[in-house]
Amino acid sequence: MSSSAENPTLTTEITKPSTEIATETAQSAKKINLKTSDDQIFEVEESVAMEFATVKSFFEDAPSSTDTVPLPNVPAKPFSQVIEFCKEQIKFKANPDETEKKKSNSEFVKEKTNEDLVEMIPVANYLEIKDLLDVLNQAVADRIQNRSVEYVRSFFGIDNDFTSEEEALLREEHAWAFEDVDED
Amino acid sequence: MFSERLTGEASLHRELEALSVSQRLVRSVSQKLRKKNLRGEGEEEDDSRGVSLKCLTLYGMGGGCKVGAETSEEFGDPSGRRRSCSASEEGKGYKPVCGNEETGLHMFLPDDILELCLVRLPLTSLMNARLVCKKWRYLTTTPRFLQMRREGTYLKPWLFLFGSVKDGYCSGDIYALDVSQDQWHRLDSDILKGRFMFSVASIQDDIYVVGGCSSLTHFGRVDRSSFRTHKGVWVFSPVTKSWRKTASMRNARSMPVLGISEVHSDCTVVHSHQHRQERRFPRSRVGGISDVYEDPHRLSLRRQYRKAFDEYEPSLLPNRKSHRFIRQKNDHSNTKHCKRFVLIAVGGLGSWDEPLDSGEIYDPASNKWTEIQRLPMDFGVVCSGVIFSWCEGEGQIGQRNKAVRKLWELDLMYLTWTEVSVHPDAPMDWNAAFVADKNLIFGVEMFKIFGQVLDFLTVCDVSNTGTNWSHLARNHMTHELDASSCMTKSLAVLHL
C-alpha cells in the first residue's frame, strides 16, 4: 500500500511533457482499446494488439465493430506485462535475430517473480500468444526443475494430499531419480 | 523487458531533458510513463471511475490530465486496482499484496495449462512433480500427457549402460546417464542378475533386453564354459522402473544384432519372409570396417542397433513392401496416433556358441516373433557398427555406418561408403559399444587400468558438417565394476 503512494506531487508535476509525448505517438499509429476484467482500458497499438490471436480474430469476425474490445478473462496487471513482451517481440518480427530474441525473452522472464509468471500464463493462453506461452511455460518449468518436492509445493501453493505412507512408497519407487536436488 | 526499458528511458531522457527536468525525476517517472503508453488514454470513457479521474486530474496541471488520471487511480481506487498498477511496475516489491494469492496460485492455472508447463520438465523433475499432490500425479501420468511429452522437444537423451559385473557376479545394475544434466543414476534390477551377453535396444520408452546367457554351474558369474543361452526377452521401462516379459524368440541367442524399425500401425510383418532375392551387398564395407580390429568374427556379432534392416533392405529388397514403410516415416507419423515399431534380432551366438545366420522379427502388437530369411553366406563380417537413417533434403535417405573407429557413410543412391569421421581417442576397448540415436552416435568404451574400470562416453553429432566426437559425463561410474564388465556391457539410448 505505502509503496504505491509514492510522491504524488512529484509524479504529477512532470506529467505534462510526458503526456504530450504520448499523444504524439498515439497519433502516429492506429490504436485499439482493450478493456481488462478489472475495467482498465489499455490503448494498444494495432500492431501489438494483432499479436493477440484472440483480439485479431475478434476484428476479423467484425471488422468495423466497437472501438473497445473487452477481455473478460484478463486482469490488468499481467496484461500490462504481456503487452510489454509483445512490443518487444514485434521488433524481432521485422528483424529476426534468434539469438537476440532468446536473450530478450530470457531477460523478460528473469525479472519476473514467480507470481508474475504464473499470472501471465492464463493471459497468454487466453490471448493465444503462442510465443509468450512457450516462454512462460518454459520459465516456470525451469524454476521448478531440480527442486525438491517441498519447494514445488510451496511454489504453487499446493497442499500435499498424499498420506505419509503413500508418499514414502512413491519416493521409494522413484528413489533413483532424486539424487542431487538443488538447494531450495 | 530490460532492453525495452532502456530504450524507452533513453528516448524519454532526450525529450525530457529538453524540458529541463532533472534526471532524477526522469528516472522516477519514466516507468510510469511507459505504463501510460501501454495503458492508453481510454480512461475517460470509464464511467465507474469518472469521479476520481476528474478530481485527481487537478494534479495534472492542465495538459497532463491523462497521465494524471493514470496516477490518480492509484490513490483513488480500491486496493485491487492499486495492486494491478503498481505491482506490474515493481514486480518484486509487493509481497504483502501478492501474499494472499500465494496459497491459491494453483487454482489460477487450469489443468490444461499446467500440463503445458509440466510437460517441459526433464524426467527427474517430472518424477518429482508426481509427488507433489494427487492431481499432479494424475495429470502427469495420463497417456495424453505422455504423448504430448514425446511429441514435443522436451525429451532428453539418456544412456543406459547394461551388463555390469561386480565382485564376480552379474549384478544386474543398470547405470543411467542423464546426458543433459550430466548425472549418473544407478538402477538395480533383480531380473538381470546373473545374465550376461544379452543385447539391448530401445523402443520409445522401453528397453528390450534380448537373449543372453547365464551360468549353469556358477550362478551369477560370467562363465563361458557351462552356460545356458536364453530365448527370453524382457522389457524394461525406466520411467516406472518396471519389467515385463514378452514372447521369447524362436531361437536362443546371445549378443544378437538388434534393430528397430518403425512401421505402419496396420502393417504386418508376417509375410516379410516371402520375398527371397539375390542380395547385392555393397561389399566395400567389409574392408572399411575392420581395419582396426583383427577379429572379423567377433565384429560380425557386434551390435547394430536401430534399423538394422535398413542396411540391406533398400539395396536388396526393393519390392519388399513390409519394410518399405520406413521411408515414409514422416508422412505417416502425423496421421497415426501411435507409432509402431518392430524389433529385429539377427545373428548372435546360439546355444552351443555357434554363430547364427538366422534372423527374426518381433511385433509388439501381436507379441510374436517371426523368422525372416537367413543371412547370405557372406554376411559374416557386417554389422560392426551402428546403422541408422535420416532424411535429407528432398527425402533422400542417407545411411551411416559407424565403424568402430571410423565413421563411414553409406550413400544409398550410389551404394558407396565414404569416411565421415575418425574417433579421436586411441582405441582402448576392443568391445566398444556404440548406439545411434537420431543424429547422434553415442559410444562407450570401458577398460581396466590401474585397478579401476573406467568408462568413457563419447558422442558424435553427424548432422553437422564437421562431425566431431566429444566426451560426455565428467564422472566415471564404473570404478567398482569388474573388468569383465567391459566385455558384457551394452548400451541403449532413450529419450525420457
Q: Is A129 on the interface with B (CB under 8 A)?
A: no
- Are residues B428 and B298 part of one domain? yes
ipTM above 0.85, yes or no: no
Residues B225 and B352 in one domain: yes
Considering only CB atoms, which chain B residues are within 8 Å of A141?
Answer: 117-118, 120-121, 125
Tell me how far CA of residue B417 lies from CA of A77, B398, B400, B408, B459, in angstroms: 62, 11, 9, 6, 21
Low-confidence ranges of chain B (pLDDT < 70): 1-108, 263-339, 373-431, 438, 462-467, 474
pLDDT of residue B266: 54
Q: Which residues of A touch B19 (CB under 8 A)?
A: 17
Selected residue of A115, A165, A167, A170 to mutate for chain B interface (largest B Cβ count, 10 A): A115
- Dihedral-angle region of residue A174 (phi above 0 means left; psi in -120 to 50 means alpha; beta otherwise): alpha
CB contact under 8 A, B42 and A33: yes
Q: Provide, as residue numbers in chain B, all residues whose Cβ is less than 8 Å from the Cβ of A14.
A: 16, 21, 25-26, 29
Of residues B431, B127, B330, B3, the one with CA closest to residue A173: B127
* Separation between Cα atoms, residue B29 and residue B19, nearest integer Å: 14
Distance from the A11 Cα atom to the nearest Cα atom in chain B, whole angstroms: 6
B171 shares its domain with B143: no
Among candidates A14, A16, A167 on the partner chain, residue whose Cβ is nearest the Cβ of B25: A14
Helix A76-94 vs helix B23-39: crossing angle, to nearest 10 = 90
Cβ distance B86 to A3 less than 8 Å, yes or no, reads yes
Q: Which of A4, A157, A177 sits opposite B103 (nearest CB)?
A: A157
Contacts of B101 in chain A (CB under 8 A): 115
**B118 chain-A contacts, CB cut-off 8 A:** 141
DSSP string of A83-136, one letter each residue: HHHHHHHHHHHHS--HHHHHHHHHHHHHTS-HHHHHHHHHHHHHTT-HHHHHHH
The C-alpha atoms of residue A139 and residue B471 are separated, in whole angstroms, by 29
Q: Which three cell numbers stand for residue B286?
A: 567389409
Residue B264 in grid coordinates: 505402419
Phi/psi at B447 (nearest 5 deg)? -155, 160
B117 to chain A: which residues are within 8 Å by CB? 121, 137, 140-141
Asked if B23 and B132 sit in the same domain, the reply is no
Q: Strand pairing of B440-449 and A31-35?
A: unpaired
Task: State whether residue A128 sits within 8 Å of chain B by CB.
Answer: no
Cβ of A157 and B83 within 8 Å? no
Enumerate the β-bridge partners of residue B258.
B345
Q: With beta carbons under 8 A apart, name residues in chain B contacting A131.
A: none
DSSP B412: T
Are B196 and B301 in contact, with CB atoms under 8 Å apart?
no
The C-alpha cell that represents B464 in the structure block: 553437422
Task: Give A31-159's CATH code, choosing from 3.30.429.10, 3.30.710.10, 3.90.1260.10, 3.40.50.300.
Answer: 3.30.710.10
B133 vs B107: CA distance, rounded Å: 13
All three cell numbers of B407, joined, read 565413421
Interior/surface letters B5-25, b for 16+ CB within 10 angstroms, e for the rest: eeebbeebeebbeeeebeeee
Cross-chain Cβ contact B41/A174 below 8 Å: no
Which amino acid, B267?
A: C
Task: Spell out the per-residue pLDDT of chain A, length 184, in tens.
Answer: 444 444 444 333 333 444 444 444 444 567 888 888 888 888 888 888 888 888 888 777 776 656 778 888 888 888 888 888 888 888 887 777 788 888 888 888 888 888 888 888 888 888 888 888 889 988 999 898 888 888 888 888 888 889 989 888 888 777 766 655 455 5
Contact A152 B132 (CB under 8 A): yes
Q: Are residues B84 and B123 in the same domain?
A: no
pLDDT of residue B342: 81
Cell 496396420, residue located: B266
Test A43 with B3 for CB contact under 8 angstroms. no
B168 and B83 within one domain? no
Are B285 and B184 in the same domain? yes
CB contact under 8 A, A18 and B35: no
Q: Are strands A41-45 and A31-35 parallel, antiparallel or unpaired?
A: antiparallel
pLDDT value at residue B425:
62
Q: Tell me whether residue B201 is exposed, middle or buried, using C-beta atoms within 10 angstroms of its C-beta: 0 to 12, 13 to 18, 19 or more.
A: buried
- What local confidence, expressed as pLDDT, does residue B288 receive? 31
Question: What is the domain range of residue B93?
Answer: 2-103
Q: Do B219 and B84 share a structural domain?
A: no
CA distances from B180 to A136, B128, B204 (A): 21, 17, 18
Which of A68, A104, A159 lies closest to B42 in CB terms? A68
Check if the beta carbon of residue B94 is closer than 8 Å to that of residue A3.
yes
SS (H, E, C) B167-230: CCEECCCEEEEECCCCEEEEECCCCCCCEECCEEEEECCEEEEECCEEECCCCCECCCCCEEEC
- List CB contacts of B338: < 8 A, sequence separation 6 or more: B147, B265
Q: What is the pLDDT of residue A125?
A: 87
**Global confidence as pTM:** 0.62
Judged by a CB distance cut-off of 8 A, whether residue A127 touches chain B is no
Measure the CA–CA gap between B263 and B260, rounded to whole angstroms. Answer: 10
Angle, CA B189 vertex, CA B299 and CA B137 arms, to 5°: 120
Domain of residue B351, CATH code: 2.120.10
Partners of residue A41 in chain B, C-beta under 8 Å: 39-40, 42-43, 45-46
**Do B117 and B187 lie in a common domain?**
no
B127–chain A nearest CA distance, Å: 7
Same domain, B98 and B115: no
Cβ of A42 within 8 Å of Cβ of B75? The answer is no
* pLDDT score for B208: 92
Q: What angle do CA B233, B341, B305 make, to 5 degrees?
A: 65
- How many domains in chain B? 3
DSSP state of B459: E
Nearest-angstrom CA–CA distance, A82 and A80: 5
Residues B253 and B401 reside in one and the same domain: yes
B61 shares its domain with B198: no
CA distance B128 to A143: 13
Please check whether residue A130 touches B, CB under 8 A: no
Q: Between A42, A104, A174, which is nearest B127 by CB?
A: A174
Q: Measure A61 CA to nearest chain B CA, in Å.
A: 23
Contact assignment for A26 to B41 by CB distance below 8 Å: yes
